[in-house]
Amino acid sequence: MANASYPTVPKGATGVLVLADGSVIFGRGFGATGAEVGELCFHTAMTGYQEIMTDPSFAGQIITFTFPHIGNVGTNLDDIEADTPWALGCVVREDVTAPSNFRNVEPFDQWLKEHGRIGLAGVDTRALTRRIRLAGAPNAVIAHDPSGNFDLKALHEQALRWPGLEGMDLAIEVTGEKRDWADGGWALGQGYHLKATKPDAPHVVAIDYGAKHNIFRNLVKAGAKVTVLPATASYEDVMGLQPDGVFLSNGPGDPAATGSYAVPVIAALLTENVPIFGICLGHQLLAIAAGASTLKMHQGHRGANHPVKRLEDGVVEITSMNHGFAVDTSTLPENVVETHTSLFDGSNCGIAFTDKNAFSVQYHPEASPGPQDSFYLFRRFVEGLK
């Protein structure tokens, strides 16, 4: 339990961040009231805070935004990657201002409040980011009380008790139901208007471990008919739909934990030589199914400006990333090769089988937010099914 002295709550403080090491950071709370415990990370994207907050891969995490102006364009019904924000809360530098954008539907503060998510403003996010980079992503509690009444000892003990993401299966909590996906590319004034209408479109069965909607949209945009299944789908569930290919989605938590039920299904699909494409958690699960292992990263990669080298030709792709685990390249079997690496730290960012039509990447080619350098991967997968 906590055994430390705690500071007095300063006048005007309505929010607080309490780290597992006992550090206390005060600020101005916004959004929902209450307290949430999770892993504290940082995200370097300059745009797309609504997409980031709704990315299911952020389940169990509190996001520190390095860009100081968050919330200034409000929120809308299009810029979401799931039906609800999965991030537990966010930490920002500047107070959220009144929205200034013609697409705005409601202010960011109100949107967070409606979805039960906590915000903390007035924090030196640059210093906090440096701390996470040096010491790793800590467990923390974010709390908001308009009266400034905080039991810091209890919050610290809550942070200490939380077990952390390692060994935690969160995909089971964020996965969706079986559904046919129709939305495609987005256009101003038209919304998600591109549909897969061709009767001979390849059929992709996508296993949802906590997928971002834009992944499914890009599969449709690339020319596929998409059926989504939950993370717990069996081999029989998948093959009963007679897929031309199978997609393995992104998602939160420890891939080794999710792999307890996901890997046997993927391994069976590999045995039957079903074409497979995986992203993020799906990439890690595919690697485990091949016989490799994963490891917890010191701070993870979360941002929209990560350079990745494509090893086949040396091309550098600027990518969007969101992951705290990585494939251990040294454990890859002989029939699996590394295809992409991070130019930040050399960690694995892609694999491909030499004897099967199966490949995956650690980053997010659908971006949202982020660059579109890697959309070709969707086309490569779908066109390879025709």
Residues with catalytic annotation?
A: 280, 364, 366
Q: Is the bond preceding 68 in cis, omega lying within 30 degrees of 0?
A: no
State how far the Cα of 224 lies from the Cα of 195, in Å rounded to an integer: 9
Q: How many CB atoms lie within 10 A of CB 237?
A: 15
Residue type, 270: L
Beta carbons of 253 and 168 less than 8 angstroms apart: yes
Closest C-alpha among 356, 304, 303 to residue 333: 356
Q: Position 139: which residue type?
A: N
Distance between alpha carbon 4 and the CA centroid of its chain, in Å? 34
Q: How many CA atoms lie within 13 A of 218 on its CB side?
A: 24
User: Which among 22, 254, 40 is positioned nearest to 137, based on CA atoms?
Assistant: 40
- CA–CA separation, 41 vs 148, rounded Å? 24
Report residue 165 CA to chain centroid gap.
13
Q: Are 250 and 210 in contact (CB under 8 A)?
A: yes
Residue 319, SS3? strand
What Rg do the C-alpha atoms of the chain give, in angstroms?
21
SS3 250: coil
Q: Give the integer Cα–Cα distance in Å for 132 and 152.
A: 21
C-alpha distance from residue 98 to each of 13, 69, 176, 316 (Å):
21, 12, 33, 38
Contact 59, 173 (CB under 8 A): yes
